[in-house]
Chains A and B, each alone.
Chain A
Amino acid sequence: AQSVTQLGSHVSVSEGALVLLRCNYSSSVPPYLFWYVQYPNQGLQLLLKYTTGATLVKGINGFEAEFKKSETSFHLTKPSAHMSDAAEYFCAVSANSGNTPLVFGKGTRLSVIA
């Protein structure tokens, strides 16, 4: 079975500062890992995903995440926050085989202060 823990339900950063959103996962099999973003009154949008291969994954809007198997982590980062990054971010995990549905974390709300 898979599970995801997102540390911090709310993170606040200044515009131009580093964004770091934490995600730890649990999986009994090699995982597929995802980050989604949800803007107010919208559905989720895929930011990036890790399947196999390179552990540093680059996504849209300047975000990237690094898969660290030894730490069972998949933290999301962005070097410089922009006001438009304010949204809710979800980490998700799935087994990398078969037809296993995604399991989502509870989400982290990112606020960007001018």
Chain B
Amino acid sequence: KAGVTQTPRYLIKTRGQQVTLSCSPISGHRSVSWYQQTPGQGLQFLFEYFSETQRNKGNFPGRFSGRQFSNSRSEMNVSTLELGDSALYLCASSLAVGQAAYEQYFGPGTRLTVT
């Protein structure tokens, strides 16, 4: 069974631009979560989607948004990029909503660098 795939793997953007990251979950998984990983803040939860609906949201500004499609694939968008948005963005999929109850399977991440 194929794992979680994230595209692109690496991305370089300029301050003020916007970016869209994509995540394809494991076949049959309907929940997708997004995390931001930085050396200073560690892993921080962005949001979780299930059945095309946002079920949970972390403490991030409105510049960070996401969506989920009917095939469970998910995208996240960051508008008006800032230098501090440079990070590894991780996507995780699970069978259903509820990170404590359902094991999350992580993708390799998208490394975003903002210059």
Give chain A's interface residues, CB within 8 Å of chain B.
32, 41-46, 49, 51, 90, 94-96, 98-107
- Pair B100/A94 contact, Cβ less than 8 Å: yes
- Highest count of chain B CB atoms <10 Å: which of A49, A98, A99: A99
Q: Which of B55, B58, B100 contacts A32 (CB 8 A)?
A: B100
Give residues of chain B (34-90) contacting chain A, Cβ–Cβ below 8 Å. 42-45, 48, 55-56, 58, 90
- Pair A107/B42 contact, Cβ less than 8 Å: yes
Closest residue of chain A to B3 (Cβ to Cβ) is: A43
Query: Count of chain B residues with Cβ under 8 Å from any Cβ of A?
Result: 23
Known: A43-B92, A43-B106, A44-B106. A104 touches B100 (CB 8 A): no
- Pair B108/A95 contact, Cβ less than 8 Å: no
A-B contact list, 26 entries, CB within 8 Å: A41-B108, A42-B108, A43-B4, A43-B90, A43-B105, A43-B106, A43-B107, A44-B90, A44-B92, A45-B106, A46-B103, A46-B104, A94-B100, A95-B100, A96-B100, A99-B55, A99-B98, A100-B99, A100-B100, A101-B45, A101-B48, A101-B58, A102-B100, A104-B43, A105-B42, A107-B42
Closest 4 CB pairs of A and B: A43-B106, A94-B100, A104-B43, A106-B42
Known: A41-B108, A45-B106. A102 touches B42 (CB 8 A): no
Across-interface contacts of B97 in A (CB, < 8 A): 99
B50 shortest CB reach to chain A, Å: 9
Give chain B's interface residues, CB within 8 Å of chain A.
4, 33, 42-45, 48, 55-56, 58, 90, 92, 97-100, 103-109
- Pair A104/B56 contact, Cβ less than 8 Å: no
Q: Which of B45, B55, B105, B107 contacts A102 (CB 8 A)?
A: B45
